[in-house]
Amino acid sequence: MQFLIDALAALGYPKPLINERLLPLFHPMDVAETQTVVKTDGIPDKLFLIREGMGRLYSKKQAKGSRRSVEITRLVAGPGEWLTVPDAFVSQSPSPDQIDIMADSKVFYIDYDDYRKLCIADHAFAQAAQQLWTGLIRKGFGREDVLKITNPVERRIDRLIDQYGQIERYIPNRSSWASLLGISASTVKRYFAKRKL
């Protein structure tokens, strides 16, 4: 629970009130197998805080000249980071994106209804939520830059490993990296073959 208390305090919420007002509204969740927690056109009803492991926010786009869809990752969240589809969560509208929580991850979450009631009844929480959204959106833009298709493949993989040192633990199947980065599985294999030399 100290992890959750520290994460909420980092948003500027008064520490003495966290135990009383916030902790009862956050629920722990262990994810054994990778789980899609928000589907395209679904309404995101939870705000997640990653305790261990990883989650990712991505969209599926139709590949030009093909019936196949390509996954484009917009945000990767690691320990201590928040994850949801910000605009769709706040407005409770259909999401253009999906969210997966990776296998062997541990998260906390708050339901939208509890989040909304807190924002109305608790001015300190409403201010903390503003800081959360600002940080989440800023991180999203930064991560998009890392994973940008125009960046060379090697740079995208290197930056992902630099930012998330344990990514290989949570995504051990390197063909899944192809989906994460929007590249072919053979390209990922070549990259790691070169890295071993």
Contacts with 145 (C-beta within 8 Å, 6 or more apart), sequence order: none
Give pLDDT, residue 163.
60
* pLDDT tens digit at each of 197 positions of the chain: 799 999 999 988 998 889 999 999 999 999 999 999 999 899 999 999 999 999 988 887 776 777 777 777 778 888 999 999 887 888 899 988 899 999 999 999 999 999 999 988 998 888 888 888 877 766 664 555 555 555 677 777 777 676 655 566 556 566 667 766 667 778 888 887 887 64
Say if CB 9 and CB 2 are below 8 A apart.
no
Give pLDDT, residue 109.
97
- Distance, in Å, from the CA atom of 127 to the CA atom of 116, rounded to the nearest integer, reads 13
* Tokens coding 167: 């990514």
Backbone angles phi, psi at 178, to 5 degrees: -60, -45
**Domains of the chain: which residue ranges?**
2-196
Q: What kind of fold does domain 2-196 have according to CATH? A: Jelly Rolls (2.60.120)
Q: Longest Cα pair distance anywhere in the chain, in angstroms?
A: 59
Give pLDDT, residue 51.
95
Give pLDDT, residue 28.
97
Three-state SS string over the chain comes to CHHHHHHHHHCCCCHHHHHHHHHHHCEEEEECCCEEEECCCCCCCEEEEEEECCEEEEEEEECCCCCCEEEEEEEEECCCCEECCHHHHHHCCCCCCEEEECCCEEEEEEEHHHHHHHHHHCHHHHHHHHHHHHHHHHHHHHHHHHHCCCCCHHHHHHHHHHHCCCHHHHCCCHHHHHHHHCCCHHHHHHHHHHHHC
Tens of pLDDT, residue by residue over 103-158, are 999 999 999 999 999 988 998 888 888 888 877 766 664 555 555 555 677 777 77
